[in-house]
């Protein structure tokens, strides 16, 4: 097999992030954020305000990031004693988390009376802030004015959200969770390959009932499909995700339609395509759809009989959702998936032609269900391209780039012409 490879990396690989921590009880969660950003491939340099060190010690962040933490404008560890310039010049972005009401006020007015605020004024890179404060402080007219000023200055707000607050009250001003902040940071940096596109996806298994308490399903976890939905969103697309039964959380900013059976999945997909409004431009069928449903569904629970007689199940064919979408005169650009056990390349190419789709993605090996990593073969009219083993989130971002390149007509430098 003649294949081309590309080395996918984590979403924030090569990024250097400056994590500014200001005084707020949410600071303890930022230790987790520092870890998550590093897990995504970023290097993280922490700078804290004096107040922040009252909540979490610099030692915590130093241990987690493997870098000294700076708090003082007069820190002599930087050769020319210009910490504010030296540190901010290296950064691809500054993230302030938690961002207190006081710090937002300073930022809005360009005050520079400590190391972190001076760095914000001296920076050349984008600034992202994750506010965290009591609901009254968030609602205060001065804070509202400051938020508007900062938005107008091009500062990106990550939250806040509404919920329980450390003070015991409930309301707006709670900092987003570390995984949400990390996801928004990944989205911030993701190339907007799919800006202006509307993507419809299916993901997860289906469940075909036998009677009210039993059914037939499969081992699909939905992880690959959900990762692709998330990556499409990060790439700037409007995303609708039709999901079979799974407990996975909905990716931020994605519209989700939950279904159970293949027929419901089919109807939801057709409903989305027929809905008024701008048309979907891409359809990605990731779901492991049951080929058959039980034709003699029993409305009451099938009981064991006293003798040894066994229930008889009869099956009916389910609609092929992908093929039906690809047949439509207004068909979006279609991507299919395949979980073949042998002769992946030939069977994949046959399936691609049979379903009449420009791109078929084959899982290499069958033990991918439920795992967090995968290995993919992309099969199109020009040949085969391999995405080597990586996390499903990494592969999803690479796949989005591959789809965008093919849609733009740029093609890919595929080696195996056929
Ligand atoms: O024919 P097979 O099930 O192997 O094809 C797999 C591809 O077709 C996947 O993209 C899957 O989501 C899609 N499919 C579908 N509806 C079906 C069966 C498969 O959309 N009933």
Which residue has its alpha carbon closest to ligand 1 atom 6?
A: 338
CA distance 179 to 77: 32
Task: Tell me which H or E stretch contains 218.
Answer: none
Q: Are 244 and 207 in contact (CB under 8 A)?
A: yes
Query: What integer pLDDT is reported at residue 418 of this predicted model?
Result: 30
Q: Is the peptide bond before 160 cis (omega within 30 degrees of 0)?
A: yes
Mutation probe of ligand 1 site: the residue of 322, 342, 346 with most atoms within 8 A of C-beta: 322
Three-state SS at 90: coil
Q: Which two tokens stand for residue 94?
A: 């500054």
Mutation probe of ligand 1 site: the residue of 224, 273, 287, 316 with most atoms within 8 A of C-beta: 287
Relative to the CA of 322, which ligand 1 atom is closest?
Answer: 20
Q: Which two tokens stand for residue 111?
A: 């005050």
Give distance in angstroms: CA of 285 to centre of ligand 1: 7
Query: What integer pLDDT is reported at residue 178 of this predicted model?
Result: 97
Whether residue 123 is predicted with pLDDT greater than 90 in this model: the reply is: yes
Relative to the CA of 335, which ligand 1 atom is closest?
Answer: 10
Return the DSSP state at 122: H
Query: What integer pLDDT is reported at residue 417 of this predicted model?
Result: 33
Q: Are 402 and 194 in contact (CB under 8 A)?
A: no
* Residue among 84, 87, 68, 93 nearest 17 (CA): 93
The pLDDT tens digits for 6-30 are: 446 789 999 999 999 999 999 999 9
Query: What integer pLDDT is reported at residue 2 of this predicted model?
Result: 40
Give distance in angstroms: CA of 325 to centre of ligand 1: 11
- Residue the block writes with tokens 């949410």: 26
Question: Among 120, 125, 167, 334, which one carries the catalytic annotation?
Answer: 167
- The stretch 123-150 carries a mean pLDDT of 97
Give distance in angstroms: CA of 316 to centre of ligand 1: 16
The pLDDT tens digits for 375-404 are: 999 999 999 999 999 999 999 999 999 999
Give distance in angstroms: CA of 311 to centre of ligand 1: 28
Length of the chain: 418
Q: Are 347 and 379 in contact (CB under 8 A)?
A: no
Ligand 1: residues with CB < 6 A are: 202, 262, 285, 287, 289, 291, 318, 320-322, 336-338
Enumerate residues 6+ apart whose C-beta is below 8 A from 103. Answer: 22, 23, 49, 96, 116, 117
Q: What angle do CA 37, 237, 328 make, to 5 degrees?
A: 140
Told to judge if 334 belongs to the known catalytic residues of this protein, a careful annotator would answer no
Three-state SS at 397: helix
pTM assigned to the model: 0.88
> How far out from the chain centre does Cα 203 lie?
14
Three-state SS at 60: helix
């Amino acid at each position: 097999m003649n294949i081309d490879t590309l080395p996918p990396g984590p979403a924030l690989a090569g990024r250097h992030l400056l994590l500014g921590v200001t005084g707020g009880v949410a600071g303890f969660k930022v230790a987790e954020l520092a870890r998550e950003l590093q897990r995504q491939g970023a290097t993280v340099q922490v700078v804290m305000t004096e107040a922040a060190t009252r909540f979490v010690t610099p030692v915590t962040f130093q241990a987690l990031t493997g870098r000294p933490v700076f708090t003082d404008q007069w820190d002599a560890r930087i050769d020319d004693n210009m910490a504010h310039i030296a540190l901010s010049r290296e950064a691809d972005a500054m993230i302030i988390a938690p961002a207190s009401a006081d710090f937002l006020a300073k930022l809005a007015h360009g005050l520079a009376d400590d190391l972190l605020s001076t760095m914000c004024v001296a920076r050349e890179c984008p600034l992202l802030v994750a506010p965290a404060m009591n609901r009254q402080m968030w609602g205060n007219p001065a804070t509202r004015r400051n938020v508007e000023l900062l938005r107008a200055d091009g500062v990106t707000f990550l939250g806040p959200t509404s919920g329980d607050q450390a003070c015991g009250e409930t309301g707006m001003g709670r900092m987003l969770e570390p995984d949400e902040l990390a996801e928004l940071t990944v989205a911030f940096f993701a190339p907007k390959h799919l800006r202006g596109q509307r993507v419809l996806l299916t993901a997860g298994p289906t469940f075909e009932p036998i009677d009210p308490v039993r059914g037939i399903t499969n081992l699909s976890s939905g992880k690959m499909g959900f990762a692709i939905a998330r990556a499409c969103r990060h790439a700037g697309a409007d995303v609708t995700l039709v999901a079979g039964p799974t407990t996975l959380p909905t990716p931020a900013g994605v519209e989700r339609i939950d279904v159970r059976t293949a027929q419901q999945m089919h109807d939801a997909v057709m409903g989305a395509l027929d809905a008024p409004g701008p048309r979907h431009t891409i359809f990605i069928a990731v779901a492991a759809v049951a080929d058959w449903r039980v034709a003699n569904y029993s409305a009451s629970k099938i009981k064991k009989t006293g003798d040894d007689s066994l229930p008889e199940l009869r099956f009916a064919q389910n609609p092929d959702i992908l093929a039906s979408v690809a047949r439509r005169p207004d068909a979006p650009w279609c991507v299919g998936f395949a979980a073949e056990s042998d002769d992946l390349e030939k069977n994949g190419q046959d399936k691609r032609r049979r379903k009449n789709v420009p791109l078929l993605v084959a899982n290499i090996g069958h033990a991918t269900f439920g795992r967090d990593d995968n290995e993919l073969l992309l099969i199109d009219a020009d040949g085969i391209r391999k995405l080597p083993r990586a996390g499903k989130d990494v592969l999803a971002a690479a796949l989005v780039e591959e789809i965008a390149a093919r849609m733009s007509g740029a093609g890919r430098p595929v080696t195996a012409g056929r």
